[in-house]
Structure 1
Amino acid sequence: MNLNATLIVQFVVFFVLVFVTMKFVWPPVMKALDERAERIANGLAAADRGKAEMAAAEKRIAAELAATRDESAKRIADAEKRAQAIIDDAKQTANVEAARIVSAAHADAEQQVTRAREELRGQVAALAVKGAEQILKREVNAAAHADLLSQLSTEL
């Protein structure tokens, strides 16, 4: 065979191969590459959106956490105020009760002193009558001299 004819046949086969490749193989390969490039671009865009959403979520979480801390501090302060108010109320009630008890004790002591004075007056009157009876060596009628005894007891 001739070298030129072989070369020409190889050129024709090469061009047919290039034509078939360009017509049937190249478009699906390019389509697959384009789809892959698009998927990669979409993935990168989704990753960027995810990062942005993550940053926004972190900001929202930080804001909610701060709000929760403030609310907790406020509730704790309110609870402390209520506890202090309850303690103050209990102290005031205890002071009133203590004053009432002291007043009742003073009144009771005053009554006991008065009763003791009355008893002492009665005893002193009885002793005075006995003493007068012994001095006079005669019997004194207590009913007849009741006015005298009551006057004596008021003087004591």
Structure 2
Amino acid sequence: MNNVIAILAAEGEALPLEESPNPLIPPLYDIVWSLIPLAVILWLFWKFILPKFQQVLDEREERIEGGLRRAEQTQAEAKEKLAKYKAQLAEARSEAAKIRDDARAQGQQILADMKAEAQAESDRIVAAGNQQLAAQRQQIVAELRSDLGRQSVDLAERLMGEQLSDSVRRSGTIDRFLADLDRVPGAGKN
């Protein structure tokens, strides 16, 4: 190995400084032979890979745009359905308000009818009570008259000292007494 280093060192001394190759620039034949495969690879890439890549990109773009169109259509349909829903909701609310108003009106009508029926029933009960009261009054007056008549006859028999046994006389006397009693002011009807 020492020999190789010595030989190389001797060769390096033999070359002048301007003729020594630049280590950063490769020889010309390496550049030519490197450009030919690069050109072939670029041509193959341009011919076969780029069209496939462009096709995939186009398909992806088409899918995205189609998805956007479908999303816009779906959004438009959703807005349309929302508008229909709102219209139906407004219609249902107005119908509910109408039903409530009708129910209130019917309730008020039923209440008025019930009040009228209650008033009629009250009037009927009062009229029946008045009739019953008048009948009882007449019955009581009749009983009082007969009682008063009997007591009058008894009193008259005691005063006169004779017996008024004749029923015709007795009823005539009682009738006269009651007629006189009816003529007295304040003793009539109360």
Q: Which stretch has the larger CA shift, 15-24 or 78-87?
A: 15-24
The TM-score, its normalising length taken from structure 2, stands at 0.72
Listed as ranges, the gaps of 5+ residues in structure 2 are: 1-25, 183-190
Match among 36, 42, 45 for residue 66 of structure 2: 42
Q: Say whether residues 1:81 and 2:85 are aligned partners.
A: no
Query: Hey, what's the Cα distance between the residues in 2 that align with 1:46 and 1:18?
Result: 40
Q: Say whether residues 1:107 and 2:131 are aligned partners.
A: yes
1:141 partner SS: coil
Percent of aligned positions with the same letter in both sequences? 28
Amino acid corresponding to residue 7 of structure 1 in structure 2: I
Q: Say whether residues 1:128 and 2:152 are aligned partners.
A: yes
Match among 47, 58, 77 for residue 53 of structure 1: 77
Listed as ranges, the gaps of 5+ residues in structure 1 are: none
Structure 2 residue aligned with 1:20 = 44
| Residue 11 of structure 1, CA deviation | 3.0
| Residue 149 of structure 1, CA deviation | 4.9
| Residue 117 of structure 1, CA deviation | 1.1
The TM-score, its normalising length taken from structure 1, stands at 0.86
Q: Which has the higher contact order (CA 8 A, sep 6+)?
A: 1
Q: Which stretch has the larger CA shift, 54-63 or 142-151?
A: 142-151
Which is helix-richer, 1 or 2?
A: 1
